[in-house]
Structure formats: C-alpha cells, structure tokens
Amino acid sequence: MGGLFRTGISSYEPCFVVQSLKRENLVLSDEEKQMAKTLRIELNKCFEQQVKPFLKSLANKNLLWYETIDSKLKQSVFSESSWRNLPNLSGTYLLSDVIDQDDALSTQFYKDGKWIVSDYFLGAMIKKFGDDTDQIMRALRMFIFHEALHFSFQKLTENTAEGIGRFPKVLERADYEADVWAMFWEYAFSSHYNLTSEKSPQKFFEALHLSAVNTMWAFDIVESDPDEMQLRRIIRYLSLYFNLARILDRKVVDIVSIANQLGSAPIIDIKGLKLKADSEGRIIASFVEIDLPNLAIGVYHSNKVHRLGTFGEAFNVSNLINAFKRRESDSLIQFAKKIWELIK
C-alpha cells in the first residue's frame, strides 16, 4: 500500500478533495500551524477511541453493509447488485491503520498503513471552516472512509491510480460510489455515538452534502484559478448539489427514500464552455470564454433525457457559471433546486 499518493507530474489525486498540490498558494500563520497540530491529535483520538471500537462492533455482525447501517435499508435500492456487493466499513484496512502524528509537511496522504494529514491539508480546512472542529472532524472521517473504499475494495491502488484523472468516467463512478457509501457510514457512526444535532435523516444528509461541497471548496479556493476548473470537478460539484436538492424534496422523508435517491447516480453534463487539456491531459473548462447561445445543462434521469437551456432570468445558465466563478455555494444550491424542479 506504500506510496499511494505521489507528487510530481504523474501524481495521484486523493479525489475527494484535492485537484493538485499547489502548496505555495497556502501560507499558514503560527497560530494556524498550532491548530493543525491540535487537529491531528484530535483526529488520532477520534480514530483510536471511536472509529476503531465502532469497526470492532461491526465485525461480528454477519450482515450486508446497508443492513448493518439500518435494517430498513433492505427495502432500498442498495439491495440491487451494483450496491449490494460493497463491503462493510469493518471490511476495509482501517482497523490496522493509524493516524501519523509526526509528518506535518508530507506530500503523501497515505503510506504503509499511516494516514498523513499534513499542515497543508488541515490548513485549507482551517481557512474554510475556522475553529469548527466538529465540522473538520466529520469532513476528515468522510475523506478517510471514501479513500478506504478506493484502495481496500475498488482496486484504486498505487498500481491503478497513476493518472486516473484522465479516465474521468471511471473515476466519476468510483467516486460516486465511495461518496454515497462514506456518507451512509458517517450516518451510522454519528448515530452510534449520538453525534447528530440534526433532527431527521434528511437534515443529517443535507449537512453531509454541505460538508462534502465545502471541503471541495476549501481546496479550490486555495489552489485554483477562479476563471476555470477541471471539467470532472464541475460535474462532481453539480452532482453533489443536485443530490442535495433531491434529498431536500418534500417527498423524501426517511432513510429508505434518501437511499433510493442517492442510489441512482445522476448523469449531468454541461455544454457551451470552452474546453482545453492541461499539461497532464486533464480537461479544463473556462468560466470566461463561454458560447452563450449554446450554454446548457444536460441531465439523464429516470430514463429520460433533459436539455435545460436558459429561459429568462428564472433559469439562466450564465448565473450558474457566475456562481462557480464567484464560488457562491448558496447560489449553486438554489440553481440545483431549479434543475430538480424542472426534471423530477
């Protein structure tokens, strides 16, 4: 498992958050470095005193992963073959892993069973989430669960990961599965330890989606040019915002209906943005050079094709692009709700 995350031209991106490692863009104050150190200690405490006992409590149950989380999920789409075969959280390598406490400057995220959460990684989160430690811990757990599925089960390992960003469709599917699976485990973990302040599963999954997009933004704000974004990353944001809109639908009332929404991956595309390949062959979309008459969203959902172009101010796709450019998460949520209203 050593050397999973490498740097340099052929670097593997831990795909939950980081699109490239432009560390020079992030300067941490002494106070922020101290906060990062405290967070590493907190994460270690959470991993040893909560995550591992939780994993041990799962290990003896001879149930499928979603039945372990909630027996009602037997009635959900997770019982279909594409979801059914995923492992329990206790079936990953996490029980024998540790959180590294020494290497604050590493460019790797995982090496020889050690999770290395660097000052850089934590610094981006501190700048986004401030001193909201609970929020950062939740984001770190979801990151670890997501990555654990990649290399414990999905065969996204050091042997297959190099340059994986140039297989956008393969990565999109692997990521989608890992996101949904990680969110349901965070739900189970938080229920187990009563960490939830949200009043309903719907509110809880809303919070998880906000955590996921805010974690992505934490790194985009530090690393990327606001005038452009990797196309794969735009689609990933759209998919998360779209799912947020779906689970906020009034018809979604319980854990089974949430599973049924998230269990069918949205297929979303966008046209009208000028595309180019970067030096590593990844597709980058411009938010400045836009072919306005052609700007539109395409969605395949519930066996139907939807083409959504601008119609007046009520649905103006330029506003969506401006929201990306200005990194306005709330506007993206509002836009995703409109997309959902139009196609559901």
Q: Which of 164, 107, 159, 115 is nearest to 140 (CA)?
A: 115
Toward Zn ion, which CB reaches closer, 68 or 215? 215
Toward Zn ion, which CB reaches closer, 86 or 339? 86
Tell me if 66 sits within 8 A of 184, measured CB to CB: yes
Tell me if 133 sits within 8 A of 39, measured CB to CB: yes
Toward Zn ion, which CB reaches closer, 195 or 213? 213
The alpha carbon torsion through 308, 183, 282, 5 (nearest 10 deg) reads: 180
3-state secondary structure of 270: strand
Residues 6 or more apart whose Cβ sits within 8 Å of residue 155: none
Q: How far is the CB of 17 from Zn ion (least distance, A)?
A: 9
The rounded distance, in Å, linking the Cα atoms of 119 and 32 is: 9
Toward Zn ion, which CB reaches closer, 100 or 175? 175
Phi-psi region of 312 (alpha: psi -120 to 50; beta: other; left: phi over 0): left
Q: How far is the CB of 109 from Zn ion (least distance, A)?
A: 11
Toward Zn ion, which CB reaches closer, 202 or 215? 215
Q: Please report, as a single letter, which amino acid is at residue 260.
A: N
The rounded distance, in Å, linking the Cα atoms of 147 and 156 is: 9
Q: How far is the CB of 195 from Zn ion (least distance, A)?
A: 24
Toward Zn ion, which CB reaches closer, 70 or 175? 175
Q: How far is the CB of 287 from Zn ion (least distance, A)?
A: 24
Q: How far is the CB of 175 from Zn ion (least distance, A)?
A: 4
Toward Zn ion, which CB reaches closer, 15 or 144? 15
Q: How far is the CB of 16 from Zn ion (least distance, A)?
A: 5
Judged on CB neighbours under 10 Å (0-12, 13-18, 19+), 189 is buried
Q: How far is the CB of 246 from Zn ion (least distance, A)?
A: 21
Read off the DSSP letter of residue 11: P
Q: Which residue's beta carbon is nearest to the bound Zn ion? A: 15
The helix (run of H) or strand (run of E) holding residue 304 is strand 304-309
Toward Zn ion, which CB reaches closer, 18 or 104? 18
Q: How far is the CB of 90 from Zn ion (least distance, A)?
A: 20
Q: How far is the CB of 164 from Zn ion (least distance, A)?
A: 9
Toward Zn ion, which CB reaches closer, 233 or 317? 233
Judged on CB neighbours under 10 Å (0-12, 13-18, 19+), 87 is middle
Residues 6 or more apart whose Cβ sits within 8 Å of residue 331: 319, 320, 322, 323
Tell me if 330 sits within 8 A of 320, measured CB to CB: no
The rounded distance, in Å, linking the Cα atoms of 308 and 296 is: 5
Question: Which residues in this chain contact Zn ion in the complex, by CB under 5 A?
Answer: 15, 175
